[in-house]
Amino acid sequence: MLNNFFNIVKTNKKIAVFVLTIAFSLIIIIDSVQSNQTYAIFEKSDFLLPEGKSRFVQEKSKYHYVGIEKCASICHNNEEMGFQYNIVKNSPHSKAFKILASERAMRYAKNANVKENPQESSVCLKCHVTGGGLDSSSFTSTYKKDDGITCEACHKGEYITKTFLPKEIDCLKCHNDSVHKMHKFDFNDKCAKIAHPRPKAKQKTLIRVLS
Ligand code: HEC
Ligand code: HEC
Ligand code: HEC
């Protein structure tokens, strides 16, 4: 069979050219099918993007906060992910906006020379809501400031489909005494208090989600 093939090649150059053309076409077709599959993976998270923005435009333009409910509705409130939404929703961070209405908040505001309502003061909102201090063009309609400090305050990457794990320096942007005094910050200890790990058996998929 193979001998036959080479005989044909030897005797007929036209056929050889034909066979090579078919082979190259196949390589090109397979390659394009594979890159379409990669694109399909990106597209899964594309629905998060503000309307009319493709992922590639979004990469270069500014970030739009989608809010905790969106994170929950897509991936983060099921067994596989360890019900992270429920954990975060019941953590002190999710009360960060609400406590700005407390008496203690009024005292802190007074000491910091903030005359307006702390829930409306950019001085306080900077650390007490996700994306605090930014104007409304930075948020999609699903974002709510009542939710306080949410997923995107700690995991937001440069653009919306990119996430990352925070380090101590990311926490210290808020956990510092610049406006009012606070407890000593020990990174490991504080991380343990807000832990929302994924069940061990499911760790394999982490790389895909976080890369
Ligand atoms: C630099 C970031 C930052 C700014 C600005 C900020 N806070 Fe806070 N606030 C925090 C952090 C972090 C905590 C949690 C601190 C802790 O318990 O260690 C906190 C906690 C609080 C608490 C709860 C305190 C307690 O001891 O239970 C109140 C109330 C509060 N802040 C009010 C305010 C008010 C009012 C403003 C504006 C005048 C403000 N914060 C500005 C970061 C900030
Ligand atoms: C106050 C900051 C903070 C907030 C808010 C926050 N996270 Fe995290 N998240 C962390 C830290 C810290 C880790 C652990 C990082 C490490 O292990 O190095 C983590 C880990 C994770 C991981 C990896 C866990 C694992 O074990 O595989 C995922 C996924 C994640 N967070 C999702 C979320 C989601 C979804 C929300 C909102 C519902 C959220 N996070 C809110 C700080 C935060
Ligand atoms: C965007 C600002 C912001 C970031 C970033 C942030 N925090 Fe907080 N954190 C707060 C505020 C505000 C509170 C107070 C909320 C309340 O008392 O309701 C708080 C409270 C806490 C508390 C409960 C109070 C305490 O001190 O024991 C822990 C634990 C905590 N944060 C850990 C972390 C860790 C760990 C990180 C980084 C992975 C982090 N935070 C990043 C704003 C932030």
Nearest to 69 by CA among 93, 50, 88: 88
User: At CA 75, angle to CA 73 and CA 77, rounded to 5?
Assistant: 70
**pLDDT for 98-147, tens place per residue?**
999 999 999 999 999 999 999 999 999 999 999 998 989 999 999 999 99
Residue nearest to atom 9 of ligand 2 (CA): 165
Q: Which of 93, 152, 155 to mutate to test the pocket of ligand 2 (most atoms within 8 A of CB)?
A: 155
**pLDDT for 69-85, tens place per residue?**
988 887 888 888 889 99
| 184, burial (CB in 10 Å: exposed 0-12, middle 13-18, buried 19+) | exposed
Domain boundaries, the chain: 2-46, 68-210
